[in-house]
């Protein structure tokens, strides 16, 4: 058994863990990231694609903003399709100048991993049997096995950035945590293809009687599409041809005609759920990102919520070490949860508005169409959509 010490032990090398590590390094705060998968495995997970300005600013603050600056595509609007008609929502106009940026989570992760490697920052990949110890006491530590050797990392704090299925939240006593969850009766099937996006200036969200579809992008030559499908479906049930035909059926005729298709380079299914664990702090353990909350991807909030958690947590840890104050640490959970619940509401609302719910039938479809019809004509409701889509301010109150 080898024993080492650091200030902050970060569990997970996804966007949350990597971003937290970058910000702690910038503040000269020792930390170690412990990740159970390999770097290639982490990079191989195709997930989010839309960044709020808060997230873009944080990437610059962390010193990795050059990637999104050169490779990101700024969007000023989104498009809603319903009753076979497409309606633009002027997101920038409705929010007095705010934008979102299309830049994949894979690229964000790659940029953070590259910086970490150049700086030679301590990162343990393929760590097995990761366990947390004494995080509700004064001498927390993390144990793990690497290449058959047992290790124990003593630390001041543990950041659980290990996602929904991680060990951090699972290590908290059941009577110390409250979990809120809603599982949706459908999933998303996503395809990545090296074809130009059908709309390079706006993400397209389609409500149709056949179900939801989304047209997104990763670059001017790489597109990301999703269709709502039954949770019981398997990826192998969907040939490329079946997928492209179904996307076309859910779009308006002009967009369907314009859409370029090609062989999928990645195809995966994602279940949809809303989930929040409260609180997000247990003694010297803090949860951040998907370890603490999940949103249905409809509102493009998952990655962005992880970023705002990390902003709050990194600020609190820096304040602890540099200003000898625990105000930020003591306030972290409450502050993060205020923003999380607002994003949970928005993601639930947009998912409920855009997807087919078998139990609500034809009347439910008409209610969705009536609300969409009202939304595209109402300055108030479209402003509400727009200000949530670009992300509410970190200090929204
Ligand atoms: P992650 O889950 O990304 O990272 C956690 C890391 O911890 C992983 O690398 C994991 O290997 C590691 N880990 C787990 N257990 C461990 C252990 N015991 N020991 C050590 N390490 C451990 N968001 C959007 O905004 N738009 C989308 O379209 C979208 N699509 C998604 C599709 C899927 C299938 C999933 C699962 C999520 C999607 N999300 C989407 C949300 C997603 O982007 C997350 O919000 C984002 O990955 C959160 O990042 P992390 O908190 O770092 O968690
Ligand atoms: C994506 O590009 O993966 C994406 C975009 C917008 C969403 C969800 C996912 O709302």
Tens digit of each residue's pLDDT (9 = 90 or more) over 240-273: 999 999 999 999 999 999 999 999 999 999 999 9
Q: How far is the CA of 221 from the centre of ligand 1 (A)?
A: 25
Which of 31, 151, 293, 301 is catalytic? The answer is: 301
Query: Would residue 125 show up in a list of annotated catalytic residues for this protein?
Result: no
Residues 6+ positions from 384 with CB-CB distance below 8 Å: none
The minimum-distance atom of ligand 2 relative to the CA of 50 is: 5
Place of tokens 């699972």: 170
pLDDT at 189: 98
Q: Which ligand is nearest to the CA of 270?
A: 1
Q: Whose alpha carbon is nearest atom 37 of ligand 1? A: 47
Q: How far apart are CA 341 and CA 331, in angstroms?
A: 16
Query: Would residue 374 show up in a list of annotated catalytic residues for this protein?
Result: no
**Ligand 2 site, CB within 6 A:** 48-50, 203, 214, 216, 224, 297-300
pLDDT at 238: 98
The minimum-distance atom of ligand 1 relative to the CA of 309 is: 51
Name the DSSP class of 14: S
Which of 75, 151, 293, 355 is catalytic? The answer is: 75
pLDDT at 358: 87
Which of 15, 140, 197, 297 is catalytic? The answer is: 297
Residue pair 65/59 in contact by the 8 Å Cβ criterion:
yes
Q: How far is the CA of 43 from the centre of ligand 1 (A)?
A: 11
Q: Where are the alpha helices (DSSP H) in 100-225?
A: 105-118
The minimum-distance atom of ligand 2 relative to the CA of 190 is: 3
Q: Establish how many alpha carbons lie within 13 A of residue 170's alpha carbon, considering only the half-sphere containing its beta carbon.
A: 9
Domain boundaries, the chain: 2-52+103-180+273-350
pLDDT at 396: 84
Residue 397 has pLDDT above 80, yes or no: no
pLDDT at 383: 98
Query: Would residue 205 show up in a list of annotated catalytic residues for this protein?
Result: yes
Given ligand 1 and candidates 78, 290, 310, which is best to mutate, with the most ligand atoms within 8 Å of its CB? 290
Given ligand 2 and candidates 45, 300, 343, 346, which is best to mutate, with the most ligand atoms within 8 Å of its CB? 300
Task: Give per-residue pLDDT as tens, 71-122.
Answer: 999 999 999 999 999 999 999 999 999 999 999 999 999 999 999 999 999 9
The phi, psi pair for 396, rounded to 5°, reads: -65, -10
Q: How far apart are CA 213 and CA 199, in angstroms?
A: 14
The minimum-distance atom of ligand 2 relative to the CA of 224 is: 2
Which of 205, 225, 312, 332 is catalytic? The answer is: 205
Residue 127 has pLDDT above 90, yes or no: yes
With cut-offs at 50, 70 and 90, classify the pLDDT of residue 38.
very high
Residue 141 has pLDDT above 90, yes or no: yes
pLDDT at 395: 84
With cut-offs at 50, 70 and 90, classify the pLDDT of residue 46.
confident
Q: Whose alpha carbon is nearest atom 19 of ligand 1? A: 36
Average pLDDT over residues 376-383: 98
Strands 50-52 and 31-34: unpaired
Beta strands in 65-220 (DSSP E): 73-75, 77-82, 85-89, 100-102, 123-124, 128-133, 141-146, 149-154, 157-160, 178-193, 202-206, 213-219
| Structure-token pair, residue 64 | 């990795």
Task: Give per-residue pLDDT as tens, 160-208.
Answer: 999 999 999 999 999 999 999 999 999 999 999 999 999 989 999 999 9
With cut-offs at 50, 70 and 90, classify the pLDDT of residue 225.
very high
- pLDDT above 90 as % of the chain: 97
Residue 232 has pLDDT above 80, yes or no: yes
Strands 31-34 and 123-124: parallel
Task: Give per-residue pLDDT as tens, 300-347.
Answer: 999 999 999 999 999 999 999 999 999 999 999 999 999 999 999 999
CATH dotted code for 2-52+103-180+273-350: 3.50.50.60
User: pLDDT averaged over the chain?
Assistant: 97
Nearest to 36 by CA among 172, 168, 154: 168
Q: Whose alpha carbon is nearest atom 8 of ligand 2? A: 300
Query: Would residue 75 show up in a list of annotated catalytic residues for this protein?
Result: yes
**Ligand 1 site, CB within 6 A:** 11-17, 34-37, 42, 47-49, 105, 127, 130, 161-163, 166-167, 270, 289-290, 297, 300-303, 306
The minimum-distance atom of ligand 1 relative to the CA of 270 is: 34
pLDDT at 106: 96
Q: How far apart are CA 33 and CA 119, in angstroms?
A: 14
Residue pair 102/48 in contact by the 8 Å Cβ criterion:
no
């Amino acid at each position: 058994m080898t024993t080492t010490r650091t200030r902050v032990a970060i569990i997970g090398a996804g966007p949350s863990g990597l971003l937290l590590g970058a910000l702690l390094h910038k503040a000269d705060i020792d930390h170690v990231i412990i990740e159970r998968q390999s770097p290639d495995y982490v990079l191989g997970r195709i997930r989010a694609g839309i960044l709020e300005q808060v997230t873009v600013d944080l990437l610059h603050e962390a010193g990795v903003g050059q990637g999104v600056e050169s490779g990101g595509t700024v969007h000023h609007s989104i498009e809603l399709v319903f009753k076979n008609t497409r309606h633009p929502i002027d997101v920038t106009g409705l929010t007095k100048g705010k934008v979102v940026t299309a830049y994949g989570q894979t690229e964000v992760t790659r940029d953070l991993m590259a910086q970490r490697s150049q700086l030679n920052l301590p990162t343990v990949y393929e760590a097995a049997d990761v366990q947390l110890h004494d995080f509700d006491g004064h001498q927390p530590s993390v144990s793990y096995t690497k290449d058959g050797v047992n290790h124990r990392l003593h630390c001041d704090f543990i950041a659980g950035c290990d996602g929904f299925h991680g060990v951090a939240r699972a290590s908290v006593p059941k009577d110390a945590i409250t979990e809120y969850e809603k599982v949706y009766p459908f999933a998303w099937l996503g395809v990545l293809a090296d074809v130009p996006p059908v709309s390079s200036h706006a993400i397209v969200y389609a409500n149709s009687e056949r179900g939801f579809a989304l047209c997104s992008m990763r670059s001017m030559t790489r597109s990301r599409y999703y269709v709502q499908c039954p949770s019981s479906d398997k990826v192998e049930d969907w040939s490329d041809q079946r997928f492209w035909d179904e996307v076309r059926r859910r779009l308006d005729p002009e967009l369907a005609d314009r859409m370029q298709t090609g062989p999928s380079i990645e195809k995966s299914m994602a279940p949809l759920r809303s989930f929040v664990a409260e609180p997000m702090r247990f003694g010297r353990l803090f949860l951040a990102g998907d370890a603490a909350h999940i949103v249905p991807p409809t509102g493009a909030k998952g990655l962005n919520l992880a970023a705002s958690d990390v902003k709050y947590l990194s600020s609190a840890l820096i304040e602890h070490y540099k200003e000898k104050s625990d105000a930020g640490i003591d306030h972290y959970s409450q502050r993060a949860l205020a923003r999380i619940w607002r994003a949970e509401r928005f993601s639930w609302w947009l998912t409920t508005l855009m997807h087919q719910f078998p139990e609500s039938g034809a009347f439910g479809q008409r209610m969705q169409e009536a609300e969409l019809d009202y939304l595209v004509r109402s300055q108030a409701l479209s402003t509400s959509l727009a200000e949530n889509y670009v992300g509410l301010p970190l200090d929204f109150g």
